[in-house]
C-alpha cells in the first residue's frame, strides 16, 4: 500500500507518494484536473508515468513529476516512448531540472513531444516565459539533459546512434534542485502515459 504524505511547499499543497525507484517523491505540479501517477517495475527498471495538465510552457506548468533533490552538476539520461496514439500531438515526456515545485518555477528540461519534436525548454527565472532550442532529430529514442553550473545542454539520439547535443541554455538555479522525469498531456481533461527506461542520474560525486 502506498504511503501518502501531505507536503506544504511555498503555499502550494501537494499530495506526494512515497519513494519510487531512484526517485524520492512524485506529485502533480500546477493545475491538473486529472491526477497523475507513476509505476515502477523493479524487474525491468521501467517507470510508467501518467500525467495530465495543459502544458509545460509559457509562464506556468502543469504535469506529473517524479523527482529527487540534488546539488551540483548532474546528468540525466533515459530511453523514452509514449504509450498509444495520444489525444494531442504536443503531449510531452520530459527529463527536468527544476528550482522547486511551484508552477511558475525556473527550470530546464528536455521535452519529447508526441509528434516527435524534441526541444531544450527553459524558464530563466520564476514567472518568465519559457524559451526553447530545438533538436535536429525527430522522435529520438534516447534523451539526456546535463547541468554544468548554470549551463544546460540537451542530447538526443535514435536507437543505435550517437547522442547529438543542442544548447547550451543558461538558467541560474540555487541548490538543491529537483531532478526527475515527468509527463504532461497538453489537455487537462485527459491523461497521457510515457515509459522511461534505462533511467540514470549521474552526479559529480559518482
The cell for 113 is 513531444
Q: Say yes or no to pLDDT of 150 above 60.
A: yes
- Residue 3's pLDDT is what? 30
- Residue 19's pLDDT is what? 85
The CATH classification number of 4-203 equals 2.60.120.200
- Please report, for residues 118, 145, 196, the alpha-carbon distance to residue 164 in angstroms, rounded to integers and kept in the order given: 12, 11, 19
Instruction: Kindly report which listed range (87-96, 105-114, 196-205) carries the lowest average pLDDT score.
Output: 196-205
Q: How confident is the model at residue 204 (pLDDT cuts 50, 70, 90)?
A: confident
If DSSP states are collapsed to H, E and C, what string results for 85-142? CCCCCCCEEEEEEECCCCCCCCEEEEEEECCCCEEEEEECCCCCCCEEEECCCCCCCE
- Please report, for residues 28, 103, 195, 200, the alpha-carbon distance to residue 189 in angstroms, rounded to integers and kept in the order given: 14, 18, 21, 31
Write down the residue that cell numbers 539533459 correspond to: 145
Q: Say yes or no to pLDDT of 168 above 90.
A: yes
State mean pLDDT over 104-115: 98
Query: Are β-strands 74-82 and 164-170 bridged in parallel, bridged antiparallel, or unpaired?
Result: unpaired
Q: Give ∠ CA 64-65-71 in degrees, rounded to 5.
A: 165
Give the separation between CA 79 and CA 153, rounded to whole angstroms.
17
Give the pLDDT confidence of 4-37 residue by residue, as tens digits. 333 333 333 345 566 899 999 999 999 999 999 9
State mean pLDDT over 93-100: 98
Q: How confident is the model at residue 206 (pLDDT cuts 50, 70, 90)?
A: low
DSSP assignment of the chain equals ---EEEEEETTEEEEEEPPBTTBSEEEEES--SS--EEEEETTTTEEEEEE--S-EETTEE-EEEEEEEE-S-EEEEEEEEESSS-SSTT-EEEEEEES-SSTT--EEEEEEETTS-EEEEEESSTTSPPEEEE-S-SS-SEEEEEEETTEEEEEEE-TTS--EEEEEEE---PSSEEEEEEEE-SSTTS-EEEEEEEEEEEETT-
Instruction: Kindly report which listed range (19-23, 25-29, 187-191, 201-205) carries the lowest average pLDDT score.
Output: 201-205
Amino acid at each position: 500500500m502506498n504511503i501518502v504524505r501531505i507536503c506544504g511547499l511555498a503555499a502550494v499543497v501537494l499530495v506526494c507518494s512515497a519513494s519510487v525507484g531512484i526517485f524520492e517523491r512524485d506529485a502533480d505540479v500546477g493545475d491538473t484536473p486529472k491526477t497523475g501517477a507513476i509505476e515502477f517495475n523493479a524487474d525491468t527498471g521501467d517507470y510508467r508515468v501518467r500525467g495530465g495538465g495543459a502544458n509545460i510552457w509559457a509562464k506556468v506548468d502543469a504535469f506529473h513529476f517524479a523527482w529527487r533533490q540534488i546539488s551540483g552538476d548532474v546528468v540525466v539520461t533515459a530511453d523514452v516512448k509514449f504509450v498509444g496514439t495520444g489525444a494531442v500531438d504536443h503531449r510531452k515526456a520530459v527529463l527536468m531540472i527544476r528550482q522547486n515545485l511551484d508552477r511558475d518555477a525556473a527550470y530546464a528540461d528536455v521535452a519529447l513531444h508526441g509528434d516527435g519534436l524534441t526541444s531544450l525548454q527553459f524558464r530563466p527565472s520564476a514567472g518568465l516565459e519559457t524559451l526553447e532550442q530545438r533538436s535536429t532529430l525527430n522522435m529520438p529514442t534516447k534523451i539526456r539533459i546535463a547541468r554544468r553550473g548554470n549551463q544546460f545542454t540537451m542530447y538526443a539520439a535514435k536507437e543505435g546512434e550517437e547522442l547529438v547535443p543542442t544548447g547550451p541554455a543558461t538558467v541560474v538555479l540555487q541548490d538543491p534542485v529537483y531532478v526527475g522525469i515527468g509527463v504532461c498531456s497538453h489537455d487537462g481533461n485527459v491523461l497521457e502515459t510515457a515509459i522511461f527506461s534505462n533511467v540514470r542520474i549521474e552526479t559529480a560525486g559518482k
